[in-house]
Structure 1
Amino acid sequence: MSSSVLLVVDVQTALIKEHPYNEKKVIGNIKKLISIARDSNKEVLYVRHDDGIGEELEYGTDGWQIYHEIAPNKDERVFEKKCNSAFFKTGLKEYLESKKIDTIILTGLQTEYCIDATLKSAFDNGYSVIIPEQTNTTFDNEYLSGEKLYEFYNYKIWNNRFAKVLSVDEVSKILFR
């Protein structure tokens, strides 16, 4: 039987204040999954990005904090990172191995950066990855809208290659196992 964890990546105050694509739905869905995971005694892990001194995600600033609506409980682990992948020099892989986790339910920001890098690192490390629909998001850029980036990565790049993209209801059933 598989052992899963809910991983919440870079849902930080400064990023949410910039209003990424579909933010209210994404936050609502992440909140729902956190609640279900906690009620089911599944671990919720958080990852927080530090961009360095003078940046909007500078360590210790208000913008760097995990967004208050989905903030961790005192007993939940937060892994700090400085690169896109949550696996790069964070201790996450070692922690997951120590808990015998084989499935990661991945949520957070930004779709084409830290979520993509984390997903592919997880895949490369042998984890099964599940992406709940409408639980990752990003911003418009000069090439594509946040919506198009979300759709492209979730349904063209990730689904049935690096991960399974499932509805929040399907993922909720997995968390209850």
Structure 2
Amino acid sequence: MNNIVLLVVDVQSALINEHPYNEEKIIENIRELISTARDNKKEVLYVRHDDGKGTELEHGTDGWQIYSKIAPNENEFIFEKKYNSAFYKTGLKEYLGRKEIDTIILVGLQTEYCIDATCKSAFDYGYKIIIPEDTNTTFDNEYLTGKKLYEFYNYKIWNKRFAEVISVEEVKRLLTMPT
């Protein structure tokens, strides 16, 4: 692991205000990882979704804003996206290439949509992906609860296939290692 980045995807006010599964623990864990990354001079990158005019995630609206409890510092980059993958038409891959990033710590919303698409795109591009436990979330739907979706993707789909799903404490230790 030469160069690592914390990628915070779609933790936006409109989504958090709808109270996804395990939201308080998710936000607290993401806050801890952001703090650890910043304290150890590891880059924190944000991705923000624009769902188009008239939606709760419309560009420029309050709901579109990154959730205030994990907001970026002035010097941190925000990549804007309109598709599920944080890599599709955003410039993220090129940016990571210039920085020689080889490992992505992936956190955010929604588990089965943008986190899944971003995880698999990153895998296809050859990145090592680390998903800290209890740092991604989603909502109940007509088929599964948010909890079941979280468990299914984290432990059945991603872990040991596309990513390593490990504890927040283990990830904090990784962030404190020198590059």
TM-score higher than 0.5 here? yes
Structure 1 unaligned regions, length at least 5: none
Partner of 2:75 in structure 1?
75
Are 2:100 and 1:100 equivalent residues in the alignment?
yes
Partner of 2:121 in structure 1?
121
- The amino acid across from 1:138 in the alignment is T
- Higher deviation after alignment, 1-10 or 136-145: 1-10
Partner of 1:16 in structure 2?
16
Identical residues among aligned pairs (%): 75
Partner of 1:27 in structure 2?
27
- The amino acid across from 1:65 in the alignment is Q
Q: Write out per-residue CA displacement over residues 30-53 of structure 1, whole angstroms, 9 at most, x where no aligned residue.
A: 000000000000000000000000
- TM-score normalised by structure 2 residue count: 0.98
Partner of 2:147 in structure 1?
147
Shift of 1:2: 1.7
Shift of 1:23: 0.1
Partner of 2:3 in structure 1?
3
RMSD: 0.4
Secondary structure of residue in 1 paired with 2:79: strand
Partner of 1:51 in structure 2?
51
Secondary structure of residue in 1 paired with 2:162: coil
Secondary structure of residue in 2 paired with 1:47: strand
CA distance in 2 between counterparts of 1:55 and 1:2 reads 40
CA distance in 1 between counterparts of 2:35 and 2:113 reads 26
- TM-score normalised by structure 1 residue count: 1.00
Shift of 1:127: 0.1
Secondary structure of residue in 1 paired with 2:38: helix
CA distance in 2 between counterparts of 1:70 and 1:169 reads 18
The 4+ residue runs of structure 1 with deviation greater than 6 A are none
Q: Write out per-residue CA displacement over residues 60-95 of structure 1, whole angstroms, 9 at most, x where no aligned residue.
A: 000000000000000000000000000000000000
Map 1:150-165 onto structure 2 (within 5 A).
Answer: 150-165=150-165
Partner of 2:62 in structure 1?
62
CA distance in 1 between counterparts of 2:19 and 2:4 reads 30
- The amino acid across from 2:14 in the alignment is A
